[in-house]
Amino acid sequence: KGTIWDGFVSGSQAAQLTCTANNVVVKNIEFQNGLRAVSITGDDAKVSGCKFRSCADGVWVDGARARVQSNDFYNLQGSDFTIEIYGPDASVTKNKMVNNYYAGIYIDAEGGGTAKVMQNVMDSCQDYMTIDVNNAGAPKIKKNKIMYGYLDGKVINASNCDDAEICGNKLMTINYDVTDGIHVTGERAVIDKNVIDTLNDYDSSLSAIYVSGNDAIITRNKLRGCNAGADTDTFGVGVNGNGALVEKNSMSDMGGGGEATYGVEVVGNNCSVNKNKMGRFNDEYTYGIFCTGNGAEVKQNRFSNFLDGYVVGVIGDDFMIMNNSFKGCAYNSASIGTTGNATGGGTARIESNTMNSIAYDAIDHDGDGVWIRYNKMKYIGGTACTATGNNNTLHQNNVTDCLFDAFLIEGDGNNINKCVATRAGKDGFDIDGAGNAFNECKATDCVAEGFDNSVGSTGTIATACTFKKSRLDYCGNGNMANDAGTVYGTGGPGQAPEID
């Protein structure tokens, strides 16, 4: 206690403190120039208040309930982790690692307990800038700072760890081959209020946060400036598992690897991706939220300044895409793209979304029985709303100023009620299918036809509709089943469309 131990002996570095016993306490010692400074085999070891300078490696413990706290590690030059523990219920807290060649904290709980890694700092280190916890139940990795260095692998890793809590950590400016900012394999992970800023990988994909496991909760994280390697994908949040909650995260300035950037990608059923904010994604393809699985819920998210790709994409049945806001999204995929069906009445919806200044399509749905309601689309550089499938319901959607058709309906038995098309560059309503019914719809000032009942459409109904001020207001094409109460200026139920 309170001494300086120098490990440079007979012209070379040597191991300094090696001990096999329980209840070993190492306190307030300065270790310098050693090979491995402290090696303990035994339970209930405690290493605290020590300083390690220019050693090869720091602290190694094989035993239960190890405590390593409030130590400083400077200029370590070895090839292993700074702190390495094998055994259950380890606690590593308030340590500082600065200017080391290899840094990092490694714990293997060996399936027998938990682990706690809290309030540690890694600053300006060359490699192994990582917290790596394995085989622990309910580990807590909280309020650590890992900054300014490089790494080959995962910055924070919890492997085979159920109920992990990874909260309040700060990861900033870490370069080289960073595959993951936070990576968890295990059930019921909680990842909350972390800041991940400027991670880079030079030759492989990168995920700021990735979880493989069910019932993950990923909330209130701030992600910025994460970039994958050349020709690979960048992910803000990636989840492989059912029941994920991804909520209130912010993401910006992501991508640049030259392939695709995803804000959130979930593969699994019954996910909820709500109240996230995303903007300034930059890659060949950019996706805000992409869910593959049934029962996806995507609500109250805000998107701005996206490039080429679906902003929200869902593949699966019974999705709910509601109350999202899209602004300034550019080129080559719809803002909302869905492939899937409703298995019951109202179990799949695209509802109350707002899309403004979109340089391609706004809504592109392929499937049956879905409700598409109360959406507002303005300044759309493509087809505003496409519904491909049968028995879908479109209700009170509003389109103003679009490049092509405002509403394109391809399929049978769809119901379109109180939808409004204003200043479409092609048709207000373009219909191709059998038994589609329109009621109280309006088309005004469309460059081609206000209402275009295409060749091959049969049994179309248009009741109490208003079509006016278009090149041809009403082109029934001779295939109308009922147009009672419909008001129009030019064309009529027998008029064929001229611009198709």
Using a 10 angstrom Cβ sphere, with 0-12 exposed, 13-18 middle and 19 or more buried, the burial of residue 65 is middle
3-state secondary structure of 116: strand
Report the pLDDT value the prediction gives residue 435, as an integer from 0 to 100: 97
> Which of these ranges, 21-30, 50-59, 226-235, has the smallest mean pLDDT?
226-235
d(CA 298, CA 275): 9
176 has pLDDT over 80: no
| pTM confidence score | 0.95
* Contact indicator for 23, 43 with CB cutoff of 8 Å: yes
284 has pLDDT over 90: no
3-state SS of 323-389?
A: CCEEEEECCCCCCEEEECCCCCCCCCEEECCEEEEECCCCEEEECCCCEEECCEEEEECCCCEEEEC
Residue extents of the structural domains in the chain = 56-455
d(CA 312, CA 199): 24
Region 297-319: mean pLDDT is: 90
| DSSP class of 497 | P
Report the pLDDT value the prediction gives residue 250, as an integer from 0 to 100: 97
d(CA 496, CA 15): 92
* Contact indicator for 13, 34 with CB cutoff of 8 Å: yes
3-state secondary structure of 254: strand
Report the pLDDT value the prediction gives residue 80, as an integer from 0 to 100: 84
Pairing of strands 250-254, 325-329: unpaired
Residue 124 has a CB neighbour count (10 Å cut-off) of 14
* Contact indicator for 249, 218 with CB cutoff of 8 Å: yes
Q: How confident is the model at residue 332 (pLDDT cuts 50, 70, 90)?
A: low
Kindly report the length of the chain: 500
pLDDT tens digits, 444-488: 999 999 999 998 899 999 999 999 999 999 999 989 999 999 999
pLDDT tens digits, 367-423: 999 999 999 999 999 999 999 999 999 999 999 999 999 999 999 999 999 999 999
Name residues whose C-beta falls within 8 Å of residue 10's C-beta, 6 or more positions apart in sequence: none
Q: Tokens representing 299?
A: 């609500």
Q: How confident is the model at residue 98 (pLDDT cuts 50, 70, 90)?
A: very high
